[in-house]
Amino acid sequence: MFRGFYTVASGMITEQRRTELLSNNIANANTPGYKADQSTIRSFPDMLMSRITKSGFPDVQNGFEGSSAKQIGTLGTGVYMQETLPDYSQGQITATELPTDIALVDGNLPIDKGTGKPGAIFYRLQNPTGGEAYTRNGNFTLDAAGNLVNAQGFYVLSDQGKKITLQSDDFQLTEDGAIIENGKQVARLGVSYSAQPDTLAKRDTGLYYTSDGKDLPSAYNVNNVSFSMKQGYIERSNVDAARTMTDMMTAYRAFEANQKILQAYDRSMDKAVNEIGKV
C-alpha cells in the first residue's frame, strides 16, 4: 500500500515539474531567440515481487528458482524528470526594419558523432562577472556610449572579443557579419560555435554559459560550419504554442489521474485503520 503512495506521488511531482516547464515555454513564446525546453522523463527501476508460501522462505543465495517463493511479477516504482534540454532548432525569421536587430540564420551545422545531434551557433556577449555569455536573441541596441548591447545590457563582442562601438545606428551589416560604417569596416560581429550545445547551462535570462567556464571557439574558424546574418530581422522563439498547450493539458490530466489514485489509497488506508482495525 505504501509503495503505491510513493509511486503516485512521484508521478504527481513529475507532471507538476513538466507543467512548470511548459508554462515557461508559453511565457517566452514571443521572446526573440528563445529556445523551447524539452523534458526527459524516466522510470525508476522496477521491483520483482514474489509470494512466500507456508513451506518456507526463498533461497537467498540461489535465487527464487526451486524455492518456496512464487514469482508474481514486476512492480513499477514511479517516474522522475531526468533532465531538461533546449531545442536548438531555427526559429522563424521576421522583419522588423530596425538596423540594430540582427537575425542569425543557421547554415550547415555538423552532426556530432558522440551525441548524434547538430551543433549550434550563438552571438558572443561579455559576461560582467568574467568570461563570455551566449545568446540567439539578436534584439540589440546602442547604449549611451555607442556600444552595441543586448536586452540585459551585456556588450556584444566582435570576432576579436572586443566591444563594438558605433557612431550611430546608421550602419550596414553584410551576410558574413562585417559591420560597415561610413564606407569602412569597423568590426565583425562575433559568433561562437558549440559542437555539443546540450552541455551549455541555460539561465533564466535566456543566456547560455559553458559548464567549465571556457569560451567557445569562433564559428568563423570551424570547418564545415556555415551561417549568415540578416540586418533588420529577428529570430522568433521556436516554441510551438499549439503543441505546447496540448502537452500542458496532457500533463494536467496525468496529474489529475495520479491525484485520484492517491485519494483512493487514502480512503483504503482510512478504512483499514478506522474500520477493519476495530474488528
123-167 pLDDT tens trace: 999 998 889 999 999 999 999 999 999 989 999 999 999 999 999
Same structural domain, 97 and 80: no
Same structural domain, 205 and 97: yes
Query: Per mean pLDDT, which range of 32-41, 48-57, 239-248 is the poorest?
Result: 48-57
Based on the structure, what is the number of domains in the chain? 2
Q: What pLDDT sits at residue 48?
A: 65
Q: How far is CA 195 from the centre of its chain?
A: 16
| Mean pLDDT, the chain, integer | 86
What range defines the domain where residue 61 resides?
A: 2-84+240-278
- Rounded to whole angstroms, how far apart are CA atoms 13 and 79? 9
Same structural domain, 117 and 181: yes
Same structural domain, 130 and 227: yes
Same structural domain, 204 and 113: yes
**pLDDT above 50: residue 64:** no
Q: Evaluate whether 203 touches 188 at the Cβ level (below 8 Å).
A: no
Same structural domain, 258 and 230: no
Q: Which of 227, 191, 198, 224 is nearest to 110 (CA)?
A: 224
Number of helices followed by number of strands (H, E) in the chain: 2, 18
Give me the residue label for grid cell 515539474.
Answer: 17
Same structural domain, 219 and 144: yes
Same structural domain, 104 and 221: yes
Same structural domain, 74 and 201: no
C-alpha cell at position 222: 570551424
* pTM, rounded to two decimals: 0.79
Same structural domain, 122 and 225: yes
